[in-house]
Amino acid sequence: MYRLEKRPVAVAAASLLLAVPIVPAELWLVKTIVDRVEAWTAPEPVGGIVAAAAALALLMAVGNIALGVPAPMAMTRLIEIGSLEERRLLLDKTARLPLASVESPAVQRLRERAGRVSLYDTFNAGLQLAQLTLRSALLLALLLGYGQWLPAAAVCAAAALHAAVSGRASERMERLAREQTEDGRLLRHYADLMTKRGAAAEVRLFGLGGTLAERWGALYGKLSRERWRAVRSAGLRKLGPDLLLASLAGPLLVAVVLQPGADRLTAGDFALLLMALTLLMGQLPEWIAQAAAMRALAMRWDDFRAYMALEEAEGGPSPRTGPDAAPAAVGLQARGLRFRYPGAERDAIDGVGLTIPPGCRAALVGENGSGKSTLVKLLTGLYAPDEGVVAWTDGEARRLAGAGEAGVSAVFQDFTRLCLTLRGNVVLGSAAMAAASAPAERVDAALREALRDAGSGLRDLDAQLGAAFGGIEPSGGEWQKLATARALLRDAGFVFFDEPTAALDPVAEKEAFALFLRVTEGRSALLVTHRLGAAKLADVIYVLKDGKLIESGTHDELLMRPGGEYGRMFRTQAAWYA
Ligand SMILES: Nc1ncnc2c1ncn2[C@@H]1O[C@H](COP(=O)(O)OP(=O)(O)OP(=O)(O)O)[C@@H](O)[C@H]1O
pLDDT digits (tens, 9 = 90+) for 121-143: 888 889 889 989 999 999 999 98
Backbone phi, psi, residue 257, to 5°:
-70, -35
Mean pLDDT, residues 368-387 taken together: 92
CA dist 564 and 483 (Å) reads 34
Distance 369 CA to ligand 1 centre (A): 5
CB distance 118 to ligand 1 below 6 Å: no
How far lies 382's CA from each of 99, 226, 358, 374, 539, in Å? 6, 40, 21, 9, 25
CA dist 36 and 529 (Å) reads 97
CB distance 341 to ligand 1 below 6 Å: yes
Distance 148 CA to ligand 1 centre (A): 73
Distance 413 CA to ligand 1 centre (A): 12
Instruction: Return the closest-CA partner of residue 386 out of 339, 343, 354, 341.
Output: 339
Strands (E), 266-425: 331-339, 349-356, 361-366, 387-393, 399-400, 408-411
Pocket residue to mutate for ligand 1, from 339, 345, 372, 378, most atoms within 8 A of Cβ: 372
Atom of ligand 1 nearest to the CA of 343: 4
Domain positions in the chain: 6-308, 328-407+493-578, 417-491
How far lies 180's CA from each of 112, 223, 225, 243, in Å? 11, 7, 12, 32
Tell me the pLDDT band of 298, cut-offs 50, 70 and 90: very high
pLDDT at residue 503 in the model: 63
CA dist 540 and 362 (Å) reads 5
pLDDT at residue 2 in the model: 64
- Whether the per-residue pLDDT at 404 is higher than 90: the answer is no
**In this predicted structure, which of 38-52, 511-525, 532-546 has the lowest mean pLDDT?**
511-525
Mean pLDDT, residues 251-265 taken together: 81
CA dist 178 and 168 (Å) reads 15
Give 6-308's CATH code, choosing from 3.10.450.50, 1.10.1060.10, 1.10.1740.10, 1.20.1560.10.
Answer: 1.20.1560.10
CB distance 473 to ligand 1 below 6 Å: no
CB distance 348 to ligand 1 below 6 Å: yes
The DSSP bridge partners found for residue 334 are 354, 390
Distance 569 CA to ligand 1 centre (A): 19
Q: What CATH number should be reported for the domain whose range is 328-407+493-578?
A: 3.40.50.300
Which secondary structure element, helix H or strand E, spans residue 77, and what is its range?
helix 70-96
Distance 568 CA to ligand 1 centre (A): 22
**CA–CA–CA angle 159, 242, 283 (5° rounding):** 55
Tell me the pLDDT band of 352, cut-offs 50, 70 and 90: very high
CB distance 370 to ligand 1 below 6 Å: yes
Tell me the pLDDT band of 241, cut-offs 50, 70 and 90: confident
Pocket residue to mutate for ligand 1, from 103, 340, 341, 545, most atoms within 8 A of Cβ: 341
How far lies 349's CA from each of 175, 240, 252, 378, 544, in Å? 37, 60, 74, 9, 9
Distance 552 CA to ligand 1 centre (A): 21
| Each residue's pLDDT tens digit, 149-200 | 888 898 889 888 888 888 899 999 999 999 999 899 999 999 999 998 878 8
Atom of ligand 1 nearest to the CA of 375: 18
| Each residue's pLDDT tens digit, 22-69 | 888 999 999 999 999 988 887 888 888 999 999 999 988 888 887 777
Counting residues of the chain whose pLDDT is more than 90, the rounded percentage is: 39
Q: Indicate if the alpha-carbon torsion angle 512, 517, 523, 529 is positive or negative.
A: positive
Q: Reduced to 3 states, what is the DSSP secondary structure of residue 422?
A: helix
* 228: CB partners within 8 A, 6+ apart: none
| Each residue's pLDDT tens digit, 469-484 | 899 999 888 998 899 8
How far lies 26's CA from each of 14, 46, 57, 542, in Å? 19, 20, 9, 85
Tell me the pLDDT band of 451, cut-offs 50, 70 and 90: very high
Pocket residue to mutate for ligand 1, from 99, 101, 337, 373, most atoms within 8 A of Cβ: 373
pLDDT at residue 325 in the model: 53
Give, using CA atoms, the residue closest to atom 26 of ligand 1.
368
Distance 372 CA to ligand 1 centre (A): 8
Q: How many CB atoms lie within 10 A of CB 319?
A: 9
